[in-house]
Amino acid sequence: EKDYSRAVSFFRRAVELDSTKAQPFIEYGWTLAELDTHQNGDASIEAFEKGLALSPEHVGALTNLAVRYGIREDFEKAEECYRKALDLETGLPRKLEILEHFGNFLIVKSKRYERAEQVVRQHLSLLGADYEASHEKVHNRLGRVLYALNRNSEAEKIWRDIHARKPPQAYICFNLGLLMETRLHDHTAAESFYQEALVLNDADEGARTRLANLTNVRYTEARRLLDQEHYSEAVARFRDAAEKNASDVRTWIDLAYCLGKLNDHEGAIAALNKGLSFDPLNLAGNTNLGFYLFYLGDHDGAEKQFL
């Protein structure tokens, strides 16, 4: 039973009765931290500090204190605690666990990416040369660090290696898509990786949003060419946008407009029919199709569209 409120009361009483033992202070700090992650910060820190004053080599207390310092954004003290814990810990499994938490802290909280690279590479060196599925997240973490440091070719190599080694994971596909989109400016490759991410995880809203944004970029560029009356170029861009997002009815309507301007009325009708297959009640699509049919002499067909 995890009744942290009762545990806090118990350990508070324990340290009041005997302030010479480290473990009650450490347990008191831990229960304060568990009671509410974002509250009791100063109280839990004080308890851990008192415990460490009595037992300076307590690795668990050091790592817990590092977490509390990180929440308080006292990054120097947090890093100092992590490094002390690493120096003291001799067991490999526990050392790997500390390196994982330390690396995440440097990446997510303090954003000290140069130091994070050192920690993540140390983590990888302890894992050994043989690549295992369990190592994937550490390799990915190094890719994130290199991406943050704008060392894009190195990040790409790491993520592509992960992508190729085993059935791909959605988050690796997303990372590659993000790299292609934001750093290497290869939107076609980015779209491909985002689409793969969604196939692997349909709930990946990050990939869905970025894919939609890329589609909008294509549409906006095509629309700019239309507004400038560069209809032939606009047709190519609208077709490209439609290939990437066929259900976007506005793309088919604007494609039809450009084709009409180029006197390709049959092509315009085909484009409108395609768009209306996704949204049969679209007013603009039906109206434009009616006008084209009337222009080509299909008065009955036009009447159906207008009605």
Instruction: From residue 87, give the alpha-carbon distance in Å to each of 61, 83, 126, 174, 193.
Output: 14, 6, 14, 36, 41
CA distance 54 to 23: 9
Concatenate the DSSP letters of all residues of 160-186 into one string. Answer: HHHHHHSSPPHHHHHHHHHHHHHTS--
The predicted structure's pLDDT at residue 133: 66
> Which residues neighbour 50 within 8 Å (Cβ) at sequence distance 6 or greater?
15, 19, 25
DSSP for residue 107:
I
pLDDT category of residue 38 using cuts at 50, 70 and 90: low
pLDDT category of residue 22 using cuts at 50, 70 and 90: very high
- Hey, how many other C-beta atoms are within 10 angstroms of the C-beta on 116? 25
The predicted structure's pLDDT at residue 39: 60
CB 216 within 8 Å of CB 237 = no
The predicted structure's pLDDT at residue 179: 98
The predicted structure's pLDDT at residue 131: 61
Q: What tens digit of pLDDT does each residue of 99-120 get?
A: 999 999 999 999 999 999 999 9
List the structure tokens of 248.
């976007």
CB 50 within 8 Å of CB 43 = no
CB 261 within 8 Å of CB 271 = no
CA distance 268 to 256: 4
pLDDT over threshold 80, residue 129: no
The predicted structure's pLDDT at residue 297: 85
Query: Mean pLDDT, the chain, as a whole number?
Result: 91
pTM of the model: 0.75
CB 101 within 8 Å of CB 116 = no
pLDDT over threshold 80, residue 4: no
Look-up: residue for tokens 């085909």? Answer: 270
Closest Cα to residue 144, out of 165, 169, 175, 174? 175
Residue 76, Cβ density class (10 Å: 0-12 exposed, 13-18 middle, ≥19 buried): exposed
